[in-house]
Amino acid sequence: AQKVTQAQTEISVVEKEDVTLDCVYETRDTTYYLFWYKQPPSGELVFLIRRNSFDEQNEISGRYSWNFQKSTSSFNFTITASQVVDSAVYFCALSEANAGGTSYGKLTFGQGTILTVHP
């Protein structure tokens, strides 16, 4: 069975600091997908990124970057120059896929990391 662990329950930083949210996963599948979602106080899930298990290239999108290390089963998320609007709960999630690479669609979520950015 798959499992996602976000060891950091809460992180508090001051605006403009960089912050990294850790995510470690377990799965027996060779093909899988990893995700990060942001959940603001309103509750909706905001999709941030999806990465398949065969693509270990790091990705940068504006102030966000992701580091996928298959060797350590980690998919960490860094926010550079954090802002107050980044305050939210962040979830890492895993979706297993079939041999053809089609995701099953259902997600296993980590426990979430509450990020608070102070002005």
Partner 1 sequence: GAVVSQHPSWVICKSGTSVKIECRSLDFQATTMFWYRQFPKQSLMLMATSNEGSKATYEQGVEKDKFLINHASLTLSTLTVTSAHPEDSSFYICSARDRKIFNTEAFFGQGTRLTVV
Q: Which residues lie near partner 1 (CB under 8 A)?
A: 33, 35, 37, 43-45, 47, 50, 52, 91, 95, 97, 101-103, 105-112
Q: Between 13 and 114, whose beta carbon lies closer to partner 1?
A: 114
Minimum distance from residue 16 beta carbon to partner 1 (Å): 27
Are 51 and 95 within 8 A, CB to CB?
A: no
User: What is the distance between the alpha carbons of residues 102 and 99, in angstroms, rounded to a whole number?
Assistant: 7
Q: Between 84 and 101, whose beta carbon lies closer to partner 1?
A: 101
Provide the strand spans (E) within 40-85.
Answer: 46-52, 59-61, 64-69, 74-79
